[in-house]
Amino acid sequence: MQGLIFSVKRYSVHDGPGIRITFFMKGCPLSCWWCHNPEGLNPSVERVTLTRKVGEKEFRETEEVGKLYSVENILEIIEKDSIFLRQSKGGVTFSGGEPMMQLGFLAEALRACKDKGYHTAVDTSGYSPGENYMKIIPVTDLFLFDIKHLNDTKHIEYTGVSNMRILDNLRMILNSGKDVMVRIPVIPGKNDDPVHLSELREFLAGLKCDNLRRINLLPFHRIGASKYKRFDLPYRMDDTRQPSHERMKELKEFFLATGIKVKIGG
């Protein structure tokens, strides 16, 4: 079985504990306004045209985004960094896009990593049928689980899908006893109003348990903005600014009242 991957990040320190290798898998059923990985949305290989400047000359090049990897390919890549991953108590993370869209490959890759003794993490939007998560829970050590909005109407507006299945899956994974880090993208004007933040804090406090390891507050940034043109997609966040460091510190204090650890960033 093969998986379609658009990027492999070595020495990653934001996608779970220790030093990690993160595989970014193609395809996502959501369409978040603020997504900074638009190259991960489409579940197929895409051809994009890039303009490169060398001195005064401009060159146009076509590039393929997305490449097929077998589980053996994945293991070969991981084994090269094995010493760093093991010594740092790191491991392997599957992100995207939404890795659950390639469930068969994901489950096989996770199993192979576990068999070699690596810590495994899955970074997910939570939007996949519950039975799919049941299939990977035995081979996943940590879920990086996004919560974007508790209000379902707003969730549909900003991501294209309902949050009901997502919230059910979060409860189910927590009940399984597996470690979870909840990731909240902080998007000014979209999910950071006082009413929503209070609801979110109450919701998270209600979930508090030993395996809910941390809340990660991910400040909005515009790093992915330039990619939208390349993929011929509309960018809807032109008017939004990155939250200040002071604002993020304020939010960290606010969520610490849940009794759960809070970190700014991944």
Q: Which of 16, 17, 40, 99 binds ligand SF4 (CB under 6 A)?
A: 40
Q: Compare residues 28 and 85 and give the one whose CB is closer to ligand SF4.
A: 28
Q: Which is nearer to ligand SF4, 38 or 91 (CB)?
A: 38
In sign, the C-alpha dihedral spanning 107, 37, 23, 42 is positive
Nearer to ligand SF4, 30 or 181 (CB): 30
What beta strand segments (E) does 77-124 contain? 91-96, 119-124
Contact between residue 260 and residue 208 where contact means Cβ atoms under 8 Å apart? yes
For residue 15, state whether it binds ligand SF4 (rule: CB under 6 A).
no
Select 31 or 88, whichever has its Cβ closest to ligand SF4.
31
- The position carrying tokens 């000359």 is 57
CB 29, min distance to ligand SF4, A? 8
Longest C-alpha distance within the chain, in Å?
59
Q: Per CB under 6 A, which of residues 74..103 are in contact with ligand SF4?
A: 96-98
Query: Which of 31, 88, 211, 242 lies at the binding interface for ligand SF4 (CB under 6 A)?
Result: 31
* Residues 6+ positions from 131 with CB-CB distance below 8 Å: none
Q: How many of the chain's residues bind ligand SF4 (CB under 6 A)?
A: 12
Question: In the set 37, 42, 102, 120, which binds ligand SF4 (CB under 6 A)?
Answer: 37
Nearer to ligand SF4, 84 or 266 (CB): 266
Is position 66 an interface residue for ligand SF4 (rule: CB under 6 A)?
no
* SS3 readout for 125-148: CCCCCHHHHHHHHHHCCEEEEECC
Cα–Cα dist 32/17, whole Å: 26
Q: Are the beta carbons of 25 and 4 closer than 8 angstroms?
A: yes
The β-bridge partners of 179 are 142
Contact 85, 78 (CB under 8 A): yes
Give the 3-state secondary structure of residue 259.
Answer: coil
Does 216 participate in binding ligand SF4 (rule CB under 6 A)? no
Cross-strand partners of 20: 12, 91
User: For residues 108 and 115, what is the distance between their CA atoms, to the nearest angstrom?
Assistant: 10
Stretch touching ligand SF4 by CB under 6 A, among 25-33, 137-145, 189-197, 239-247: 25-33
Of 7, 12, 102, 125, the one binding ligand SF4 (CB under 6 A) is 125
27 binds ligand SF4 per the rule CB under 6 A:
no
Q: Does 30 bind ligand SF4 (CB under 6 A)?
A: yes
Binding site for ligand SF4 (CB under 6 A): 28, 30-32, 35, 37, 40-41, 96-98, 125
